[in-house]
Structure 1
Amino acid sequence: MPTRLRKVRKRRGSRTMGWGQIGQHRKTGAKGGRGMAGGHKHKWTKLLKTGYFGKEGFHNPTSKEVHAININELAGLVEKLGGTEINLARMGVDKLIGKGYIDKPVTVIVKSWSKAAEEKINKAGGRIHPPQPQAG
């Protein structure tokens, strides 16, 4: 018994593949309008399913994003840039935290730092201090 062709294979080569005359399966008329057209009519069930309306969650307007960098990332920067002083405050980094290892003595300028980071920098022979306030 010969195998039957699937619908798609059967209609290949027939120009419109069962969608009538030219253009009947194209553009917005076939989709029920542009954009949100029919949002309260024939597209209503789709909107209900997807959770389109309303907000979800909570955004704290007073929270402040802190850009932090680890000791191991700092060691990579020291290798890349060279020198003995690195100004993280000028690079947009707010805090230095203590994950990783550093063996080169380096002076780090940063707004805040963790106790572990300070210990590791001091052990390597470097030091940390906050940025100087700018006059003006």
Structure 2
Amino acid sequence: MVRRFKPAVKYRRGSRTHGWGRVGQHRKSGSSGGKGMVGFHKHKWSFVMVHAEETSGWPFYGKHGFKQPKEISIQWRPINVGKLDDLVEELEREGVAVKEGEKYVVDLLKLGYNKLLGGGSVKRALIVYTATASEAAVKKISAAGGEVRIVQGVIHR
């Protein structure tokens, strides 16, 4: 590929202004229209429109995102129904789960979980106490002959 220009910097070594005219032109923020993001809503607007995503002005303007305060945010500790089904006999031996007839009763809140998810398969009939549960989890447990009981007003953080 043919070079159209000489390497500018090397060519201009020792010239003080490097082709930018009299004293201090092209040096400080005055020649660029202000420091940093100054002027992006005025004289640098064309730059914003060229480089902003989908010409909305983002990421140059407006507040972006939301950081939820820790006091109101919930830290989910989920467990899948498949894993619960595998662990239920061990939980009964430890005294955490109770067997009532053919059904196992498990309180997930005592185990430190606050959400029941529908991953895996359920072979045993379970009665599960939890703060929240997904639709898939409720369907799988009720199909196996058990039920999910939602404990209202309790979300463990």
Following TM superposition, by how much is the alpha carbon of 1:81 offset from its aligned partner in structure 2, in angstroms? 2.0
Question: Are 1:113 and 2:121 matched, yes or no?
Answer: no
Following TM superposition, by how much is the alpha carbon of 1:96 offset from its aligned partner in structure 2, in angstroms? 0.1
> How many equivalent pairs are there?
77
Gaps of 5+ in 2: 1-65, 93-98
1:42-83 per-position Cα deviation (integer Å, ceiling 9, x unaligned): xxxxxxxxxxxxxxxx96434321110001111122121232
Query: Scaled by the length of structure 1, what TM-score is found?
Result: 0.50
Gaps of 5+ in 1: 1-57
Letter of the aligned partner of 2:136 in structure 1? A
1:15-55 per-position Cα deviation (integer Å, ceiling 9, x unaligned): xxxxxxxxxxxxxxxxxxxxxxxxxxxxxxxxxxxxxxxxx
Aligned mates of 1:76, 1:69 — CA distance in 2: 12
Q: Which residues in structure 2 correspond to 1:6-45 (within 5 Å)?
A: none
Q: Is the 8 A contact 1:108 1:128 kept in 2?
A: yes
Secondary structure, in 3 states, of the residue corresponding to 1:89?
A: helix
Aligned mates of 1:68, 1:107 — CA distance in 2: 17
Following TM superposition, by how much is the alpha carbon of 1:131 offset from its aligned partner in structure 2, in angstroms? 3.0
Residue in structure 2 matched with residue 66 of structure 1 by the alignment: 76
Q: Is the 8 A contact 1:111 1:130 kept in 2?
A: yes
Aligned mates of 2:139, 2:124 — CA distance in 1: 13
Residue in structure 2 matched with residue 104 of structure 1 by the alignment: 124
| Aligned-residue RMSD, C-alpha | 2.3
Of all paired residues, the percent bearing the same amino acid is 34
Aligned mates of 1:76, 1:59 — CA distance in 2: 37
Q: Which residues in structure 2 correspond to 1:38-57 (within 5 Å)?
A: none
